[in-house]
Amino acid sequence: MISKSQISFIKSLQQKKLRKEHGLFTAEGLKSISEFINSEYVIDTIFYTENVMPKLGKLSHNIKQVEISTSELSKISALTTPQQLLALIKIPETRVLTPQMLKGSFTLALDGIQDPGNLGTIIRTADWFGFNRLICSEDTVDVYNAKVVQATMGSLSRVQVEYTDLQKLLQDCPLPVFGALLHGKSIYQTNFDVEGIVILGNEGNGIRPEIITYISHPVTIPRFGKAESLNVAICASIFCSEMRRNS
C-alpha cells in the first residue's frame, strides 16, 4: 500500500533537481536492484509486488520494504513496462577528482553526452571491459536519470561516475589525453600503453574546442563506408575494445 503523497514524491524523482534535493534516485527490476544491493550503494526503500521479495534474498534491516499492487507500481514506475520492483537508492557523495587519482589506468571522459540511452550503454560497456570509473562534464545528462539507470543494466552499481569541470581536470594533467576526433591517428595504429584519459564528445557537436586543446593524442576510427558519423556509444565501445585487446 502506498500513499498519494509517496506516489508524487517518487514521481518527482524523475526530475534531476528534485533527485539532487532529496539525494535519492530510482532503480527498477530484479537484476538491477540486486546488483545495487550487492554494491556500496545504500538502499533506502524497496517497493515490491507480490511474491517477488524472496528472489532478493535476505536484506539488511535498514532497508524499508513496502508491498504494493501492480497498478500502484505502474503509477511510480518510469518504465513503459514496470518490472515488479522499484527501489529508492541514495545518491553517493561526489568526490573531488584529481588527475593523480586516474594514474595507472584508463578513464573515459564524456564531454556533453545528452542521450540517456547512450550514457547508460557506455557505462554497461565500460563495465564489460573492466573500466570502473567514468568522468562526465557538468552538462552531460544526469546518470541518475531513470532511463540511464535502466540502460546500464545494473552496471551503474560497479562503475563510479563523477561529474566535474573537465577543463579544470585536464589542466596540468600528467596523463596522455586521447580524444575521439574525425582527423587523428588511426585507432588501429595507436599505442594506448597503460594509462590515459579518453575523451568522447557530444552527439551533435563532438568535443568542445576548449577541451580539444588538451588532447595530446587525437585518435580516429577509420571510416570504410559513407556514414557521416558513428554513434557515441559505438565509438566508446571500439575505444574500450582497442585499449583492452593487447592487454
Where does 13-65 have alpha helices with state H? Answer: 16-22, 30-37
Candidates 6, 125, 150, 164: give the one binding a second copy (CB under 8 A): 125
Candidates 126, 166, 175, 181: give the one binding a second copy (CB under 8 A): 126
> Residues 137-156: x/- map of binding to a second copy (CB under 8 A)?
----------------xxx-
> Residues 157-196: x/- map of binding to a second copy (CB under 8 A)?
-x-----------------------------x--------
Rounded to whole angstroms, how far apart are CA atoms 31 and 14? 21
Q: Give the dihedral sign, CA 172/178/181/183.
A: positive
Rounded to whole angstroms, how far apart are CA atoms 154 and 87? 13
Footprint (CB under 8 A) of a second copy, residues 194-223: 221-223
Does 238 interact with a second copy (rule: CB under 8 A)? yes
Q: Give the dihedral sign, CA 185/140/45/61.
A: positive
Measured CA angle at 30 (ends 24, 36), to 5 deg: 45
Dihedral of CA atoms 10, 16, 19, 22 in degrees, nearest 10, equals -120
Total of residues contacting a second copy (CB under 8 A): 37
Nearest CB to a second copy, comparing residues 36 and 47: 36
Candidates 131, 144, 178, 192: give the one binding a second copy (CB under 8 A): 131
**What residues line the site for a second copy (CB under 8 A)?**
31, 117, 121, 124-132, 153-155, 158, 188, 221-231, 233-234, 237-238, 241-242, 244-245, 247
